Amino acid sequence: MLDKNKLYLQIKKNAQKLFSDFTQEFDLAKKKWQEISCDINFKNKVEFSHASFLTPTWLGNLNDKFKIDNKIFNYSILSVDGSQVYPDRNISGANCCLINIGSCLIKYNNTGSSVKIGSEPLLFLLDDLFEHAIPSKDPGSSDLVDLKREELELLNLLNITLEQNIDIAFVDGTVIFWFLESKPEEVKNLFLNLYLNILQKFYDQKKIIAGFISFPKSKELINLIKIGLCKYDYADCIACYKIYNNKAFDKVDSTTQQAAALTTNAPFALSEVEGVAISKNAQPCMLVDNLIDTKILRNFLNINERTTVFFSNSKIVDSYPDYLKPCFFYLNAGVEIVRIETFKYIAQDEKLINLIASVALDQINKGLGYPVTLAQAHEAAVVKGPDREFFYNLLQKEALDQSRRLIYSQKSIKKRGTGV
């Protein structure tokens, strides 16, 4: 049981750290964004810099923004989502897992709309979970089940899109498979090929697919600001780290600021960091480390406007075919700024990008803040506590019918009901 009094005291004690004030950092980032957006040479600086953080490339100008029509009436949209019941280590004899794929298909027209919501439960024996063996990996591990679920979501999205001739297919989350970068090589290669083969079919049929990310925490635009703050002509983070031994910056009081501004041997003048003083030998790029992209975008992106298209340079993207290179843009939907990801073959047509943005706005408006189809697909997919218990009760019943039984650990039994 949660001790609420103790929790309250801890929140009060850490309030200053929990709710930090980054006004000074934000003001610096805003001014630097305005500066680099107008710098015709900045794209070259990014291209020739050797940054230790992820920076994107982009179409057109950095500060380009596009007004999006949020009145769209005739389109069809499909969203899918998935959930799972992992193999339970506390139950012997249940050598399987459950993956449930939910879908929501809506067709809008001038006379009304039609809705189809469904779910597809898929039972997998652990030995049959993957068509190809993965050396030295437990097929029942939760991360492999998650990767399999991702494949099934994309496959379900493709099949329904082609069967129903859907205009736009939305997935919840990223289409840049960052999560594979940390996986063992054989796991990464297996699943990346599976995912790309499905995306290839979207490309072959020239179908529109996009990933919707609510409340994104991305920092790729902030990383551009960090390049802009760099005191060198071209950033070289590794060399910079070696020179300064990764010394942290220190904010100083106004008296010290004035003295520092007059110091001739200071590595850079205060005006270069817009009055935010940092100690000698510090790295100005570190001043914006606590910010995320959407914090900056709120100051120049109006409601119902999108940014230009950015291309991710994540390491995993090197394995994508050129026409499937992932890209993204930010869209101010009023309630929040969302990140929408898609692919190069779609981004090459501005009308298609604007169509995705229009549909996203319409879905957000209809869903009172979150796309209707994504919300309904999630509800269709989610396996709640009672559903999980129903799953295991069915397994228990079938085990008894087969003159076998499931064996629950004492821990599992206690979790189902603790005695006093």
Structural domains present in the chain: 30-54+221-288 (no CATH), 75-218+292-381 (3.30.2170)
User: In 133-168, which positions are buried (b, 16+ CB within 10 angstroms) versus exposed (e)?
Assistant: ebeebebbeeebbebbbbbbbbbbbbebbeeeebbb
Quick check: 291 and 28 in contact, CB under 8 A?
no
SS3 342: strand
Find the mean pLDDT for residues 51-70: 94
Tens digits of residue pLDDT in 161-197: 999 999 999 999 999 999 999 998 988 999 999 999 9
* Residue 191, both tokens: 């699943």
Kindly report the pTM of this predicted structure.
0.85
30-36 contacts, C-beta under 8 A, 24 or more apart: 30/296, 30/299, 31/274, 32/225, 32/228, 32/229, 32/274, 32/288, 33/221, 33/225, 33/228, 33/296, 33/299, 33/300, 34/63, 34/300, 35/228, 36/62, 36/224, 36/225, 36/227, 36/228
Pairing label, strands 305-307, 208-213: unpaired
Closest Cα to residue 142, out of 196, 181, 179, 172?
179
Among the residue ranges 233-237, 267-271, 290-294, the one predicted with the least confidence is 267-271
pLDDT for res 405 = 62
pLDDT for res 249 = 42
